[in-house]
Structure 1
Amino acid sequence: MKQAEATRRHIYSLYWKISHLREQYESREITTFLQRADEAGIENCPRNITSIHVIDCIGNNEPINNTAIAEKMELSKASITKISTKLLEDGFIKRIRLNNNRKEIYYRLSLKGQKLFILHEKLHKQEEERFYRFLERYTEDEVLFIQRYYEDMAEEWERKLTAEVGFEV
């Protein structure tokens, strides 16, 4: 086997290793977050990171409507509608209408949502600082390559998510 092919196979192996490790880490991260939320007296906490990030987006931009949340988070309006409906039911956000636009619905955090927002903000800041410390081991050129890699990988995942589901046999 040629060196280039061996390197590609090793990268593919690492890709799956990182996928599995990321899945395990996210599971631990959400479990820890839910424990902290429980300790803070926050009930019915969302069990997925995307819902928590919707709360974060609302908290950072309130009042904000579905379209703006979808744009800022780069998610579909349908998924934001589904998430915001559940967050409304669970009391994390409030629906409001602005005086100059009685037709359009905007969201603000409820007191319960504000508590979760503050908790998430604290934990998110710790994770962000850890990530920046990790990047310090690389040169500026390497960081630019990492940026390109992540942009390409995000584009690839978006393509996969919008492509027709199925496997070639």
Structure 2
Amino acid sequence: MNKEDQILTGVRDLYNKMVWLNKDKMEASLKGYTSSEVHCIEYIEKNVDSNVTKLAESFFMTRGAISKLTKKLIEKGLIESYQKSDNRKEIYFRLTEQGKVIYKIHENLHKEFQDRDKAVFAQITEEQFDSMLSFVEKYSSHLDAEIKKQGKDIKSE
């Protein structure tokens, strides 16, 4: 296996191990909510004026799928829609108090998992962090260009 394959396999394995390790605690603490719902709540809390288009782009989902997801979240009382007085056409989302509770539970779990894994990151030098971040940014830009080259547009799907 060459180094490229080792890196890609390693990244996939790391991700899968994190998901597996965190899964039981996440499911127990956020019972009744799907991963998509929780991550949608997280995005809305962290991004002002979240709308269907921004959510679709962020999650690489269609606007139709995001519309269904946000409708479910509204029905569950986790988010609410609003419009701005200067733009009555666009619909935005914000968390309700109940949505903020779910957001906080999710954030606390992430902090707990980060604390668990701190020992590994404490051993990484600034240069190593910079190198890894540079790789991630370059690879992400490359994939963005490939998506664009294929004429894929998340917004219209």
TM-score (norm 1): 0.65
Quickly say closer, same or farther: Cα 1:18–1:99, change in 2 above 3 A.
closer
User: Are residue 136 (structure 1) and residue 132 (structure 2) matched?
Assistant: no
Q: Which amino acid aligns with 1:25?
A: M
Quickly say closer, same or farther: Cα 1:160–1:30, change in 2 above 3 A.
farther
Task: Give 1:4's aligned residue.
Answer: none
Mapped to 2, the partners of 1:156 and 1:30 lie a distance apart of 31
2:22–2:113 Cα contact (<8 Å) kept: no
| 1:148, distance to aligned residue in structure 2 (A) | 1.0
With a CA cutoff of 8 Å and minimum separation of 6, indicate the structure with the bigger relative contact order: 2
Mapped to 2, the partners of 1:92 and 1:30 lie a distance apart of 22
Quickly say closer, same or farther: Cα 1:30–1:92, change in 2 above 3 A.
farther
Q: How do 1:20-31 and structure 2 match up within 5 A?
A: 20-31=13-24
Unaligned runs of 5+ in 2: 151-157
| 1:59, distance to aligned residue in structure 2 (A) | 2.0
Who wins on radius of gyration, i.e. which is larger? 1
Mapped to 1, the partners of 2:130 and 2:137 lie a distance apart of 11
Q: 1:103 aligns with which of 89, 93, 96?
A: 89
Per-residue CA deviations over 1:70-119 (Å, capped at 9, x if unaligned) read 56x47567264453234234432112233443332121213332221110
Q: Which amino acid aligns with 1:126?
A: E
Q: How do 1:55-134 and structure 2 match up within 5 A?
A: 55-61=41-47, 63-69=49-55, 73=58, 75=60, 78=63, 80-129=66-115, 133-134=119-120
Unaligned runs of 5+ in 1: 1-7, 39-43, 165-169
User: Are residue 32 (structure 1) and residue 18 (structure 2) matched?
Assistant: no
SS of the residue corresponding to residue 153 of structure 1 reads: helix
| 1:60, distance to aligned residue in structure 2 (A) | 3.1
Mapped to 1, the partners of 2:10 and 2:148 lie a distance apart of 24
TM-score (norm 2): 0.68
Per-residue CA deviations over 1:31-75 (Å, capped at 9, x if unaligned) read 32120123xxxxx302x2x5422211212345533345456x475
- Aligned residue pair count: 149
SS of the residue corresponding to residue 123 of structure 2 reads: coil
* Identity over aligned pairs, percent: 23
Quickly say closer, same or farther: Cα 1:155–1:80, change in 2 above 3 A.
farther
1:93–1:110 Cα contact (<8 Å) kept: yes
